Amino acid sequence: MNTPVRVVAAGDHFVLPTLIDRALTDEVIERPLDVRELTLGWPMEPFGPVAEVREASDAEDAVIEALDGREVLVTQMAPVTERVLAACPDLRLVVVCRGGPVNVNLDAATRHDVRVCYAPGRNAAATAEFTVGLLLAALRRIPQAHDSLARQRSWRGATYYTYEHSGLELEDLPVGLVGYGAVGSRVARALAAFGAQVMVYDPYARGEIHGLRLPTLDDLLTRSRVVSLHARLTPETQGLLGARELALLPRGSVVVNVARGPLLDEAALCDALESGALSAAALDTFDREPLPADSRLFALADRVVLTPHLGGASRAVAEKAARIAAAEVGRWARGEPLAHCLT
């Protein structure tokens, strides 16, 4: 079959259209390629709900125009809504360069006979590394010390060297991980190398784990000086750590969240930080993003490390995502079974 594979590479300013195009060229070699590039606004423009999908760039019209006569869409943020699918009858395959196709209406894709694939694990290493970095920053007060010296030109070494204000070290520290998937398992191995006492709660984890498996979340919380969230966000896990759960942690504990903001009750977290029940928190994800200007977290800057959802922001992630997606297009073009397909 020598007919070209007609693709729209709807990239953005992270997973560049040129990265997708290059990966497709390396992967799809049996048939000619006809790639039309489209650049969406993320991350310069925030994603959010678009029609019935949760996380996408607000670009239905641009996507519909680009998909005219095209059978494959490779994208990270394009909104694949009922309207887009209905307007693009030639579309047969959508490959999302993310860990899940949250920008795709899967029911509508099934009705329109469109296969939907995704790119699991593309940011696992980057997110795990970022988690450990945030954890160390919170434990040792690194951002606060930097701000004091570099911005305020104040030498506060004496303050941070007092017993009351000095930080915790990872060696022998009880650290609880909630979730043991691609990210959590990497964090566990990294923390074990530091000598931490790693404990894990994940009712879905199978096989051997790096650490002590605990049967309940309450068991984990009562024994952890640090708890790090790595669970998927589902209706069951929303608000997984609320006021009751945070109260189970030993006084002065630290909470880390580089997973999804709604796993954690932010109001309850702020209450615990203000009361001193928790000594610190390190957060990369939030209940509302961007973080609102009136968030209580800003008033707790001496006790929190805040980053704007950067856990997966590495060049390797963008390159891996493009390669995983291109491999699916290659399998589809050759008539082979798809590796990560949901419809």
Q: What does the domain layout of the chain look like in residue ranges?
A: 5-122+314-334, 124-306
309 tagged catalytic = yes
Asked if the domains at 5-122+314-334 and 124-306 fall in one CATH topology, the answer is yes
Q: Pick the residue with more confidence: 54 or 159?
A: 54
In which residue are the tokens 């006809």 written? 34
| The token pair that represents 278 in the structure block | 């928790």
**73-120 pLDDT per residue, tens:** 999 999 999 999 999 999 999 999 999 999 999 999 999 999 999 999
CA–CA distance, 15 with 229 (Å, rounded to integer) = 26
- Looking at domain 124-306, its CATH class is alpha beta
Catalytic choice (22, 289, 296, 319): 289
289 tagged catalytic = yes
CA–CA distance, 46 with 49 (Å, rounded to integer) = 10
CA–CA distance, 156 with 270 (Å, rounded to integer) = 25
The bridge status of strand 226-229 relative to strand 174-178 is parallel
171 tagged catalytic = no
Q: Please give the model's pTM, rounded to 2 decimal places.
A: 0.91
**114-158 pLDDT per residue, tens:** 999 999 999 999 999 999 999 999 999 999 999 989 998 988 777
Residue 173 has pLDDT above 90, yes or no: yes
Find how far residue 273's CA is from the centre of its chain.
Answer: 24
Res 157: pLDDT: 72
Res 167: pLDDT: 87
Res 1: pLDDT: 56
% of the chain beyond a pLDDT of 70:
100
Per CATH, the number for 5-122+314-334 is: 3.40.50.720
Catalytic choice (98, 309, 323, 340): 309
CA–CA distance, 190 with 59 (Å, rounded to integer) = 40
Catalytic choice (112, 230, 260, 331): 260
